[in-house]
């Protein structure tokens, strides 16, 4: 009897403690407020949360993105900040863990943030966006998929190349450059779900061009030898190959295909296969003629060239990858949004100011990006981003064609 009493008392105390701790008055620790008139900025610093996986499965891969965001933030502050107040980026490491992402989103919402940068990866977007939608907070995701941007409309912004555009225009250019291509086998490392979706869309488009496609061959991390995959791909009977993997894995597969007499002009690399110069170094001697949707050495704007140079100086001559600019662009968009809407950051007005930011950002014309000089955002999705196809010629990636989709 006494044991039961003790058990019940302990259970009640435990539950009460946990629930009462949740009912404690929330005091924001990240936004300092000062007395202000109704129009003046009410914060001493603009705190912009950035939900990004800095550890876990993607550890290190998004470091260039973080570097560029920090760089742009310091430049904004050096130029006087946003409406006279400095910007501070509050990083939340989501570690590609949905539980952590939801908790991080909760913290950002509780801190009365006006908007956030991220979440970065589709899985995290799906986990955390329902909370953002409930709180009415706009998320400058940039690298989430278009599918998610539509699901969580109008609270999310996607600002990378649309997979419908990339899977349509670039394979078409490739096939027209190489009329000998009759059938394509795909080797895909599903780093993100989008890699698989991209192949599926590409396959449909190739079929409309009269090119046969075979079911995707899934590539895994950490294999000692990639020759079985290359042999499997060749044995399908395909005379062309679509590869979406990391640089080191793509390089290994290329070597295996090359060793078996595959014409390298019939190889199409996409995704993260050529995101840094590591691919060219690792596949040296085997990559002549390979086509790629990205080039780490291509600098479409002077701004990007300057950042790339600065990054190389501090990173052993390794340049920024082709997606590194995405979140820095989002920071610039947020700066524009705050200045255009004249929000104050006042915690008592956070709901209405979040809506103002959303209304501004959801549709924008002629945004000047770091990598893409000018593009539009229509219903949360970036349009008119140039599609570029490169080819390895004499050891360097050369631009073959650029297309600007409608």
Query: Residues interacting with another protein, by CB under 8 A?
Result: 2-3, 6-7, 11, 14-15, 18-19, 21-24, 26, 54-56, 59, 90-93, 95-100, 102-103, 105-107, 109-110, 122-123, 126-127, 129-131, 135, 147, 151, 190, 192-193, 196
Least distance (Å) between residue 22 CB and another protein = 4
For another protein, the closer of residues 24 and 78 by Cβ is 24
- Looking at residue 58, the DSSP 8-state letter turns out to be G
C-alpha pair distances (Å), 288 with each of 241, 264, 280, 281, 397: 15, 7, 10, 12, 9
For another protein, the closer of residues 141 and 239 by Cβ is 141
Within 8 A by CB and 6+ apart from 8, the residues are none
Least distance (Å) between residue 399 CB and another protein = 32
Q: How many residues does the chain have?
A: 406
For another protein, the closer of residues 99 and 368 by Cβ is 99
Are 244 and 234 contacting, i.e. CB atoms less than 8 angstroms apart? no
Within 8 A by CB and 6+ apart from 182, the residues are 211, 212, 239, 240
Please give the Cα distance from 303 to 57 (Å, whole number): 30
For another protein, the closer of residues 146 and 256 by Cβ is 146
For another protein, the closer of residues 126 and 277 by Cβ is 126
Least distance (Å) between residue 132 CB and another protein = 10
What is the number of other CB atoms lying within 10 angstroms of the CB of residue 50?
A: 27
Least distance (Å) between residue 138 CB and another protein = 16
Least distance (Å) between residue 102 CB and another protein = 6
What is the number of other CB atoms lying within 10 angstroms of the CB of residue 212?
A: 17
Least distance (Å) between residue 95 CB and another protein = 7
For another protein, the closer of residues 152 and 169 by Cβ is 152
Cα 230 to chain center, whole Å?
29
Least distance (Å) between residue 231 CB and another protein = 23
Are 93 and 53 contacting, i.e. CB atoms less than 8 angstroms apart? yes
The backbone region for 95, taken as left when phi is positive above 0, alpha when psi lies in -120 to 50, beta otherwise, is left
For another protein, the closer of residues 138 and 307 by Cβ is 138
Least distance (Å) between residue 366 CB and another protein = 32
For another protein, the closer of residues 76 and 104 by Cβ is 104
Please give the Cα distance from 160 to 381 (Å, whole number): 8
Maximum pairwise Cα distance, the chain: 85
- What is the H or E stretch that residue 366 is in? strand 364-367
**Half-sphere exposure of residue 386: CA atoms within 13 angstroms, side-chain side:** 18
């Amino acid at each position: 009897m006494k044991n039961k009493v003790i058990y019940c008392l302990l259970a009640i105390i435990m539950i009460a403690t946990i629930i009462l701790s949740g009912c404690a008055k929330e005091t924001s620790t990240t936004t300092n407020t000062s007395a202000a008139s109704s129009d003046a900025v009410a914060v001493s610093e603009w705190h912009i949360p950035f939900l990004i996986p800095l550890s876990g499965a993607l550890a290190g891969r998004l470091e260039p993105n973080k570097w560029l965001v920090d760089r742009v933030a310091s430049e904004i502050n050096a130029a006087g900040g946003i409406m006279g107040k400095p910007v501070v980026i509050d990083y939340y490491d989501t570690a590609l863990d949905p539980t952590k992402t939801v908790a991080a989103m909760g913290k950002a919402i509780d801190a009365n943030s006006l908007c956030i940068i991220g979440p970065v990866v589709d899985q995290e977007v799906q986990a955390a966006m329902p909370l953002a939608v409930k709180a009415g907070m706009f998320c400058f995701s940039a690298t989430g998929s278009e599918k998610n941007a539509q699901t969580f409309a109008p609270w999310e912004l996607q600002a990378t190349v649309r997979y419908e555009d990339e899977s349509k225009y670039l394979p078409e250019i490739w096939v027209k450059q190489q009329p000998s291509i009759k059938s394509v086998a795909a080797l895909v490392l599903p780093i993100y779900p989008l890699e698989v979706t991209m192949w599926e869309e590409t396959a449909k488009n190739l079929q409309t061009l009269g090119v046969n496609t075979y079911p995707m061959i899934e590539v895994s991390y950490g294999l000692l030898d990639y020759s079985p995959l290359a042999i499997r791909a060749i044995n399908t009977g395909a005379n062309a190959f679509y590869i979406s993997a990391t640089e080191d894995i793509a390089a290994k597969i290329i070597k295996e295909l090359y060793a078996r007499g595959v014409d390298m002009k019939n190889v199409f690399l996409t995704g993260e296969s050529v995101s840094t110069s590591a691919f060219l170094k690792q596949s040296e001697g085997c990559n002549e003629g390979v086509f790629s949707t990205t080039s780490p050495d291509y600098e479409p704007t002077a701004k990007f060239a300057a950042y790339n140079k600065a990054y190389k100086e501090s990173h052993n001559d390794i340049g920024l990858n082709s997606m590194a600019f995405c979140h820095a662009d989002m920071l610039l968009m947020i700066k524009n949004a705050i200045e255009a809407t004249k929000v104050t950051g006042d915690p008592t007005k956070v709901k209405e100011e979040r809506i103002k930011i959303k209304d501004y950002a959801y549709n924008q014309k002629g945004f000047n990006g770091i990598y893409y000089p000018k593009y539009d955002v229509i219903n949360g999705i970036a349009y008119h981003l140039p599609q570029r196809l490169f080819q390895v010629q004499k050891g360097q990636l050369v631009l073959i064609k650029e297309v600007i989709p409608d």
